[in-house]
Structure 1
Amino acid sequence: MAKCLAASGTFETVNGYDKDHGKVFAFSQSGLKGAVGASSAEEVFLGSNVVVLSLVNQAQIESVLFDDSGNPKPFLKKETAVIQTSTVSPSYAEHAGARLASKGVLFLDAPVSGGPRRAGDGALVVMASGSEEAFGAADPVLKVLTANVKASGVLHKIGSHPGQGSTAKMAHQLLAGVHICTAAEALNLAKQSGLDPAQLYDIVTAAAGNSWMFSDRGKRMLQKEPDVLSALSIFIKDLGIVSEEADRQSVPVPLAARALQTFRSAQQSGWGALDDSQVIRVYESKLTGHQESSEGLPPGKEFVEVADEPSHLTVFKNEFTTVLKVSFPPGVTTWMHRHSEDSLYFFLVEPELHVLNELLGCAPVEDKMEFGEVRFGTHRGTPLVHKITNKTTQQMLCIDAEVTKSPPMVRGEKPLEAPFHELVKTRDRCRVYRVLLKPGESFQTVYDFFSLMVVKERGEIEVSKGKDGFLKMKQSWKRGEVEWREPASEWRQENIGQGTFEAFVAEWR
C-alpha cells in the first residue's frame, strides 16, 4: 500500500515502516516520489496526518496505538486520521475507535480484501465505517488504494461507527473460508473417486458451481508446493472472529465452525505456514470432522496439551494466566487433551450444557453444567487428560482460565465487599464474584487485586477509573468476552444499556 500511495504522485511524503528493516530500506530506495523509510511507528505518526495500519491482528494494533493500560499513546496527535485495514473483531474495532475518539484522533475501521498484489495496483476492496470527519481526512488515501476500478477496486462506505466495516469483513471471511474448504472437499472427492481433479477444476470454473475462491485457490490446490500468497494460519484467526462474534450474538454458523475446525487440523499437522489452499491436505489425510477425538491427533500421540487442541483457542495470555475459549458444534468430540494447570471453568451455554466426558483409559460419563456455572479444577501435579463430546443442540461455549501464577500483590484473606458483587467461588488461589447490574444501576469500588472479567450477559457499560474518573470509556460487552485487569485505585461502573449486564470477576490470589 505504501508503494501504491507513493507511486500515485498524490502525496509529498509517504512515510513507511515495517518491523522488517529490509523492507523499509527497499521502500526508501525505490525511487518513488516522497518515499521515506521511518525508523519506528512513532516516527510515522509524528510525520503524518493520515496513517494506514496494515497489521496481522488486533494484538499488534493494540501494541502500536495503546499503552499497557489501554490508553492512546502520547504521540497520537489530535485530528490525525488512522485507517485500520486489518481483519479484527467488530467489538475490538468499536472499542479502539472509542478510545481514540476520547483523544480527538479520527479512526476509520476499513478492512480490505485483495492481497498484496491488488494493494500495489490500487485495486483493493475497502469496507469502511467511521465518522464523516474520518472519511473526509482519509479520502485522498482511499481514492488511491481503490482507484483501479477495472481490477475491481472499490470503496464501500458501510456506516458511521467503527465496527460496522469489520462486521462486513467478518461476513466476507466466513464465505471465503468456507469456500476454500468446499473447494478442497470437492477436488479431493473427485480424486478419491478416480477422476482427474484438474479436469474437474476446468469443468467447475466454466459452470454454475464456480466461485472466485474455487477458481483462485483450486488452481493452487492442484500444485504440489504452491507459493505462499496467503498463509493458512490467517484463516484460523479470521474464522475464530466469526465464531466468537456468532457465539456472542447466539447466531448459528455451523459451516463456518466446521471450516474453522478443518483449518485448525491443518495447523496442528504442521501446515499453518503453507498457502491456505493447502488445507486440501487435511481432506487428503482424512483428518476432518473430529467426530472421534483420535482423528487428527499428531502421529504417535495419545493426547495433546490443551492449548494445542483445535477447539481450545487462546484468547489471552500473561505470566499469571492463559485464557482459552472452548467452542465447537453439536455432536463434535474434541481431541484427547491434557490440562496441567489449575483452572477456572465458566460455562456459558443457555439453558444448560450436556456433554460426554471421557477420561483417558475410562468409559465416557455424562455431565451437565448450568448456564453460568463456575467450576474449579485442580490439575497441577495431577493433570486431567480427557476428551469432550458436545451433546447439546447449540455451540459449545466455555471459558477455561488457567491459574498459572499468583500475582505480586494480593488483598489478604477478606473477600471484596462491594455493591452488586456476590462471592460464588473461593479457592486457595482465586475467588470468583458474580456482578449483576440492571439498566441504570452502578457501583463504585476499589479493585485492589489482579483479576479476570468473564462476560455472561451482554451489555453497554460506562467505566470510570481513578479517584477523579480521569479515564472514562463506554464499552460494549458480549457473552464470552474476557478482560484482564490490574489493580485500580477507584473503579466506577454503570449499566447504560437496555438489558441486564452480568459478568464474573475472578480475583487472583
Structure 2
Amino acid sequence: MSGRTVDAAAGPDFVPVAEEPSHVELFANDRCRVYEVRLPPGHVTRDHLHHTDTVYVVVRGGTIRSDNLLGTSSPTRPGASAGRLRPAGWLARRLLVGWIRMPAGTVLWQPHREHPVIHRVRVSARNREPVRMLGLELRGSEPAPRLCSQPGVRLESTSEGSATYRLEAAGAVLVPGSGVLTVIRGEAVLPGAARLSLGDTVWIDRPGQLRVEAGAVAVLTLLGR
C-alpha cells in the first residue's frame, strides 16, 4: 500500500464506493450491502471512499495494489486461513514493490467506519483472468450467530456484527441465522434451491441446512442485526 497526495486546488476527486463503476451492487438489506468487484488485467479503478466496516472475500485471485490517498488507511485483518507467514509476506511486498498476490478464498476484514480510506486499486497486466472480489458492508451491530464446530468448518474472522467461516468439503452444515454464502470452488446446495457453483453469491434469510459437496470450498458470513 502506498500513499498519494492530490492537488488541493483541484478539490477532492473521488467518489463513494457505491458509485465506483467496478463495484457493482448485488443486493442490500438491513443487515448488509453486498457488491462484486471485477477487475480485468491492467485495470485501474477510480479513487473511491470506503467508510463502512467491510468483510472482503476473494473469489478469483490475482496480483493487485492499493494506492491510498495520503493520510487515509484502514487496518487489515486477514482470515485465519492466511496463517502468519502470508500476511508478513504481503506486508514486505507492499513496502518493497507495492504489489501483492491475493489467492482465491482469501478473507479480509477492514474497520472502515473508524478508519475511512480513499484509494484506487491497480491490477497487474500479467494476470491471466479478471480478479473477482466481494465486499460485504456490515450494517448490524448485534453479535452474529455461530456455527457448531465440525470437520471442514473453520472460523476465519469475527467483528462486531459478523462471523465469517470457510467451509471446505464440510458436508451438511446447519446455518443458525442469516448470512451471505459465496462458492469459491466446486458446488454447494441450499434446500429448495438450485446448485450453487463458482462465484455464486446468495443471501440466506433464515436458519436452515446447506451442503458443501466433496472438493468444494465456500465462504459463509453470518450477520447480527
TM-score normalised by the shorter chain: which range applies?
0.7 to 0.9
Instruction: Name the counterpart of 2:115.
Output: 382
The Cα of 1:338 is off from its aligned counterpart by 0.5
Aligned equivalent of 1:491:
209
Find the counterpart in structure 2 of residue 428 from structure 1.
Answer: 160
User: How many angstroms does 1:494 deviate by?
Assistant: 6.0
Q: Decide which of 431, 443, 446 is 2:172's aligned counterpart.
A: 443
Please list every run of 5 or more consecutive structure 1 residues that lacks an aligned counterpart in the other structure: 1-293, 465-472
Percent identical pairs in the alignment equals 21
Equivalent residue for 2:198? 479
Once the two structures are superposed, the pairs formed by residues 214-293 of structure 1 within 5 Å of their partners are none
CA RMSD of aligned residues (A): 2.7
Structure with more relative contact order (C-alpha pairs < 8 Å, separation 6 or more): 2
Runs of 4+ in structure 1 off by over 4 angstroms are none
Distance 1:365 1:480, change over 3 A: same
Question: Quick one: distance in 2 between partners of 1:309 and 1:458?
Answer: 30
Query: What is the CA–CA distance in structure 1 between the aligned matches of 2:148 and 2:58, rounded to whole Å?
Result: 23
Cα distance in 2 for partners of 1:314, 1:428 equals 22
Corresponding pairs, count: 190
Distance in 1 (alpha carbons) for counterparts of 2:36 and 2:108: 15
**1:358 lines up with 2:67 in the alignment:** yes
Work out the CA distance in 1 between the residues paired with 2:63 and 2:106.
Answer: 13
Alignment partners' CA distance in 2, 1:442 and 1:343: 28
Q: Is the 8 A contact 1:347 1:353 kept in 2?
A: no
* Distance (Å, rounded) in 2 between the aligned partners of 1:329 and 1:492: 32
Instruction: Compute the TM-score of the two structures, normalised by the length of structure 2.
Output: 0.74
C-alpha displacement at 1:479, in angstroms? 2.2
Any stretches of 5+ residues in structure 2 without a counterpart?
1-5, 72-94
Deviations for 1:331-368, whole angstroms, at most 9, x for unmatched residues? 0100000001000111122xx42112100138983222
Mapped pair 1:320 → 2:48:
no
SS in structure 2 opposite 1:324? strand
Go from structure 1 to structure 2 and tell me whether the alpha carbon gap of 1:417 and 1:320 turns closer, same or farther (over 3 Å shift): same
1:379 positional shift: 0.4
Higher strand share: 2
1:457 to 1:484, Cα distance in 2 relative to 1, 3 A: same
Q: What TM-score do you get using the length of structure 1 for normalisation?
A: 0.34
How far apart, CA to CA, are the structure 2 residues paired with 1:410 and 1:504? 15
Match status 1:507 vs 2:222: yes
Which has more radius of gyration?
1
User: Which of 111, 136, 148 is 1:401 aligned to?
Assistant: 136
Q: Any conservation in 2 of the 1:372–1:456 contact (CA below 8 Å)?
A: yes
What residue identity is the alignment partner of 1:343? T
CA distance in 2, matches of 1:374, 1:480: 14
